[in-house]
Structure 1
């Protein structure tokens, strides 16, 4: 008995997941006749976290749909900005995305991150338990069934990673409100409260401080503040709230 042959059309932005020989506008897949369309798409290397609308012959179908012989499948990428069920929008990053985690926290985005590798099963379980969107460059991790929600990080450059995440998920930005070390909230602090964390030069030079309410780390506008401010200004310019258009008088 001949096995069904399915034509799968993949948009350019998702072809990065395909094997080199399949990176044309369409590719043919031989199925077992019982596999769901979601399984067929995953078999090509595309995480379902990156997949939006699926159509067969121009008709919307669910991921559980079983394509038959000759089916013409169109795979669309997720619509941006992507709507994530539930609120508030929170993230969980794997061990390889430390710089991205710190930059998201710098912008006030709730971002869980651990500097040690706790393993894929634990990360996926934590995503489900805390209802966090798991961000990763590991396709295998994003295919775990226990995952609540996820997103592939397409670039290996932190500046592009940040742009991609902010453009895709459009989180609310509140710069300078989270600890970049632990994700806790920052509160104003007087110099005496944080004196033990300050070098002599800092105590003499600075008078305005903040402190993490969770871990106690102190913050002030030190030598690296200009670099951090540049990250914040660029993010707010490109991804912050847009001013309302002027109304005609």
Structure 2
């Protein structure tokens, strides 16, 4: 038998009957810590530190009868800590891939300037492959996806709606230093470039031609952007986060 203690941040992933304290488990002989932890319902991507009998341990280590295992989550304060199970890039270098249910969050991250891939038909295997190949952080509310072995960096979103999800992610990953607002297309994720008004004049509504001077254009899909009422609403949303 082994004894497991999960930190408060990880309690929501456990079955209700197992929440609130230490519990014992008959682990299979030679099972890895990763297997044991995920069998309890906690994705490995949500784990920040593991201690076995008081000593730091990695996911690949094998459990032994009588082990006392403490499993801790991670927060913004742990992102660059040497004691954790993974190192995170600085906020300015973070890139994301969002699963099929997080289109609103993806648009908000792009608005803030973060390279964020999203398609509403992404398959789990595609997300895992993109994360592994391009060093992207996976964003999801799918616990099963987070247990994919190819995914090392990910965030489970507890909030349901896009605005609270964005605030949750900004706080958890300390994203504020990486904000580069309105430098990326919210529709296709490509960078924006400043353009002369004359270059896009034929694409502008009459009221915009009359009242606006400064424009950017997506280098991917060609959409044109300017600081209208929608821009002011987006500034307010970023400030609130």
Match of 1:22 in 2: 18
Instruction: Give the conservation status (yes or no) of the 8 Å contact 2:45–2:152.
Output: no
From 214, 220, 230, the counterpart of 1:224: 230
Cα-to-partner distance string for 1:153-176 (whole Å, 9 max, x where unaligned):
121122222122222223411111
Match of 2:41 in 1: 45
Match of 1:192, SS state, is: helix
Match of 1:140, SS state, is: helix
Instruction: Give the conservation status (yes or no) of the 8 Å contact 2:4–2:68.
Output: yes
1:135 aligns with 2:135: no
CA–CA separation in structure 2 for the residues paired with 1:92 and 1:118: 10
1:94 aligns with 2:90: no
How far off its partner does 1:135 sit? 1.0
Superposed CA RMSD: 1.8
Q: What TM-score comes out, normalization by structure 1 length? A: 0.86
1:191 aligns with 2:187: no
CA–CA separation in structure 2 for the residues paired with 1:14 and 1:196: 54
Structure possessing the higher radius of gyration over alpha carbons: 1
CA–CA separation in structure 2 for the residues paired with 1:163 and 1:86: 19
Match of 2:23, SS state, is: strand
Q: Tell me which moved more, 183-192 or 5-14.
A: 183-192
CA–CA separation in structure 1 for the residues paired with 2:3 and 2:187: 48
In the TM superposition, 1:145-164 aligns within 5 A as 145-164=149-168
How far off its partner does 1:6 sit? 1.5
How far off its partner does 1:139 sit? 0.9
Give the unaligned 5+ runs of structure 2: 81-86
CA–CA separation in structure 1 for the residues paired with 2:151 and 2:202: 42
Cα-to-partner distance string for 1:21-40 (whole Å, 9 max, x where unaligned):
11112222221122111111
Q: What TM-score comes out, normalization by structure 2 length? A: 0.88
